[in-house]
Chains A and B, each alone.
Chain A
Amino acid sequence: MPDDRYLEPAVETMSRTALRELQERRILDLVPSAYENSPFYRELWDSHGVHPRDISSLDDFRERIPSFGKDALRDYRARTGDPFGGLLRVRPSELTSITSSSGTTGDPEFFAEIWDGAPPLVTAQLRDLWELGLRPGDRVLSPPGTFRNLMDYGYHALGAVVISTNTWFGRMRETLEAVRRYRPAYMQFMYPQLVELEHLENEYDLKEIFASLKGAACAGQPISPRMREKVQNEWGVELYEYSSAADTGTAWECREHNGFHLWEDTVFAECLDPSGDEPVEEGEIGELVATDLDNRAAPLIRFRSEDLVRMTSEKCGCGRTHGRMWVSGRSGDETVVDGRPVVLRDVWQAVEAEPETVGGFFQIVRPAREVDRLRVRVGYDPSLSGDTADLADRLRAGIAKRTGVEPDLELHTEEELMRTVRSVAKFPRVVKQ
């Protein structure tokens, strides 16, 4: 019976050499099968003059197989009418389920799934949930969304009991009552929920209420150091952030909180120059490029995620040997305003510096990456601000000071801004309108 830190100790702590050998075996199986059955790869690789017989090692794979991005899939889908972008390597009737991306930046892309027991995304999180401390008999608060399938299957696989309560925005009072009543060991947060909870911290003893939690996860967007400090130290919740592993799965923090673990028996992860195919030095920022090693339905092969990350293959303090990454942002998140680059971090710090907007609820609104004016939409707490003109002046000055650009500001209450959320997984910081 596994009852220590690792759910699958032999896999989670396997040597780098064994891991590389395993990845090579899986890739050498994957490449011919994808070429044979997935029209997208056949077309892409043919156009690059690559054939599976050219690939006999990981080095061949890295050097010869072309990478591709979301636009290539969208083009294929538009050109052929194939909703799966030509990625399927099975007949559609062989699928179990179809989920999709959130579609916050365009039409959602489908993820084809084949599974027994539990859907693939949540199954790949079992090791992470185990590391967080989830054990049989523990209670879990149901997450609000189902867009990447019903997550309960995963919690049940670990023997947890799911408390079915609605934890969507605007329901944090009910959520707190449910936590107090059922004493769950685990729950998930989204950033706007944390902002909502922050408004309740003077009414409720959050530290007492959350004392049953072994941990809580938060995904979809980075959390500011201020918010993380509050959740961990003032509310007493050990927060585990996680991120997408380029749509092949997820990557979670372990108890060391030193980077997101990639499960490299499920993904072959590369960190490449965002403007080319050359790998960057370990520890340098590059684009996460991923290959599915455990996807029978529609594997991504050298998929360019647009996520800017640093990666390391150094053994973690937790003892796991799988690589870790730190997410720096999205390659398209930098906005060029009249020739001057503006990064999210600078705007974020300016917004958090004002008491009425300390929640850091803001979006950059831009139709394109290069714009003439910086337009920023900020959510404020109306209970703390009677004079929005003064707040707007302070925010404009703060943003201008940190970015060197005078912004056009749009002020909304936090609640108004929460209502614009179009995903259970993320609050987008850069929007088109």
Chain B
Amino acid sequence: MVRQDTLSRACMLDHPPVAYLLPVPGPDGIADCEVGWDDLGRDAAWTQERLQAHGLAQGHHAVVSFSGHEGAWFQPVIEALRNLGVVYGSVETMGWDHVRTRVFQRELDLHAILGLSGETLEALSGQSMIGDFFGETPVVMARPDGIAKLRDAGVSAAVISTLGPALAIECPERAGAHVNRAEWTVTERDGRLSVTASAERAVGGREFLLETAGTVRADPCACGSDDPRVMFT
């Protein structure tokens, strides 16, 4: 069809090896992080494993709450969902868009909601009981600023978060957000986190000092993964 023809035409163009350029804020200012196409492919494969562990599978419906500037982290989430055969919807993380989150939740038989922000949960909590609202959804993942509100309401939510240029996702054990150990080394320095890219990445070997507060667990997770796990504080 037409759009496929247009894409085929675009495929003939020269494509640079870099897909994204991320300004990563840290204590010493902004550091640039390039993300290559191979990086995105590996990130999607790892994310797929993480989502599979939560039971996401062919035929499920999911909603992903993310912002336009989060493509470098959430394009791998979208690709993981597509590879799994999960039909996804997209909503904004801004609190005012809670209306669309509510309608997606009400109208579609959602198996998962990924990426809920504190703002969205704050807006929703003014309208209904959070526990009632999300209680029937098998997989709920929220940003660190929203996770406590869900758990306080009895929702067994897991963390999904950006961590500098990396993505962190809790497994069903919910004992810290996993970061792909094949791609990143995570360390803690005076309560602040830093991530260092593996040699394979476009920014191979580079360390990013972050303003994010948290602690790192290096012991194996009960789920069997050796990924480092981040506890956001």
Residues of A in contact with B (beta carbons under 8 Å apart): 1-2, 7-8, 11, 83, 92-93, 95-100, 102-103, 107-108, 110, 115-118, 120, 123-124, 126-127, 136-137, 139, 142-147, 149-153, 156-159, 161-168, 178, 181-182, 263, 265-266, 293-294, 296, 421-422, 424
Q: In the complex, how many residue pairs between chain A and chain B have their CB atoms under 8 Å apart?
A: 175
A95–B69 contact, CB under 8 A? Answer: no
Nearest Cβ in chain A — how far from B135, in angstroms?
21
A149 vs B75: C-alpha distance when bound (angstroms) = 10
A266 vs B104: C-alpha distance when bound (angstroms) = 27
- B190 on interface, CB distance cutoff 8 Å: no
B23–A294 contact, CB under 8 A? Answer: no
Residues of A within 8 A of B4 (CB): 116-117
Contacts A265-B2, A294-B3 given; indicate if A162 touches B92 (C-beta within 8 A).
no
Residue of A whose beta carbon sits closest to that of B30: A181
A124–B71 contact, CB under 8 A? Answer: no
A265 vs B10: C-alpha distance when bound (angstroms) = 17
Residues of A within 8 A of B67 (CB): 144-146, 166, 168
Contacts A152-B71, A166-B69, A182-B21 given; indicate if A100 touches B100 (C-beta within 8 A).
yes
Residues of B within 8 A of A265 (CB): 2
Residues of A within 8 A of B103 (CB): 100, 103, 107-108
A156 vs B79: C-alpha distance when bound (angstroms) = 14
Residues of A within 8 A of B166 (CB): none
Binds A, one of B11-19, B181-189, B208-216: B11-19
Q: B36-66 interface mask toward A, CB cutoff 8 Å, 1 = contact, 0 = none?
A: 0000000000000000000000110100001
A97 vs B90: C-alpha distance when bound (angstroms) = 8
A276 vs B15: C-alpha distance when bound (angstroms) = 49
A147–B97 contact, CB under 8 A? Answer: yes
B20–A168 contact, CB under 8 A? Answer: no
Contacts A83-B108, A150-B90 given; indicate if A422 touches B3 (C-beta within 8 A).
no
A295 vs B22: C-alpha distance when bound (angstroms) = 34
- B133 on interface, CB distance cutoff 8 Å: no
- B72 on interface, CB distance cutoff 8 Å: yes
Residues of A within 8 A of B10 (CB): 7, 126, 157-159
Nearest Cβ in chain A — how far from B59, in angstroms?
5
A288 vs B87: C-alpha distance when bound (angstroms) = 31
Q: What are 9 pairs between A and B in contact, CB < 8 Å?
A: A2-B13, A8-B5, A98-B108, A108-B100, A136-B13, A137-B16, A152-B20, A294-B2, A422-B97
Nearest Cβ in chain A — how far from B122, in angstroms?
14
Nearest Cβ in chain B — how far from A247, in angstroms?
15
Residues of B within 8 A of A95 (CB): 87
A142–B68 contact, CB under 8 A? Answer: yes
Residues of B within 8 A of A99 (CB): 89-90
A118–B7 contact, CB under 8 A? Answer: yes
Residue of B whose beta carbon sits closest to that of A99: B90
A323 vs B49: C-alpha distance when bound (angstroms) = 47
